Amino acid sequence: MDMVLQWVLGVLATIITAIISGVLIPMVVKYLNAKTNNENVQAVITELGETVSTSVGYINKTIVDQAKEGGTWNDEAKSLALKEAVKNVIEGLSLTTKEIIGHDKLDLENIVIRRIEAELDARNATKEQWKLFGNN
């Protein structure tokens, strides 16, 4: 009876080990990979947002303000300001962020342009809200 019990326990241990290594471990690995990937994506989004905000602020204080004061703020000046902002953002991003975006075969320049446009829209909306309250 002891040998039969040992044999049954041995078979059960083998089956449980197979289930753990065949099902549970891959599930844990998949979960950990997804968590790491999400953290990387979140870091990229945060860095991109901060870099765009800084660059747009810089471009506004230099190129845009000078062009407006000089009366040369037109479509050509806007295009040049956007190009300079895109260049500043891309240069300001970490190598890791560039690699993550490149790994997913995304077009970095178009992503940056869309993010800059969103930043400008947000800044303009904020200015309009301030005007509603009588602030300029």
> Using alpha carbons only, what angle is made at residue 113 by residues 85 and 120, rounded to the nearest 5 degrees?
70
DSSP-assigned letters across all residues of the chain = -HHHHHHHHHHHHHHHHHHIIIIIHHHHHHHHHHHHHHHHHHHHHHHHHHHHHHHHHHHIIIIIHHHHHTT--SHHHHHHHHHHHHHHHHHHS-HHHHHHHHHTT--HHHHHHHHHHHHHHHHHHHHHHHHHTT--
User: Across residues 119-124, what is the average pLDDT?
Assistant: 83
Tokens found for residue 100: 């993550």
Burial of 18 (0-12, 13-18, 19+ CB in 10 A): exposed
pLDDT at 136 over 60: no
Length of the chain, in residues: 136
User: Across residues 7-28, what is the average pLDDT?
Assistant: 72
Tokens found for residue 8: 């049954």
CA separation for the pair 104, 37 (Å, rounded): 11
User: Across residues 22-35, what is the average pLDDT?
Assistant: 69
Q: Which band of pLDDT confidence, cut at 50, 70 and 90, is reported for residue 11?
A: confident
Tokens found for residue 83: 């190009």
Task: Quick: pLDDT tens for 70-121.
Answer: 999 898 999 999 999 999 999 999 999 988 887 766 688 888 998 898 888 8
CA separation for the pair 23, 19 (Å, rounded): 6
Which comes out higher in pLDDT, residue 82 or 31? 82
Q: So what's the pLDDT on residue 107?
A: 84
pTM of the model: 0.68
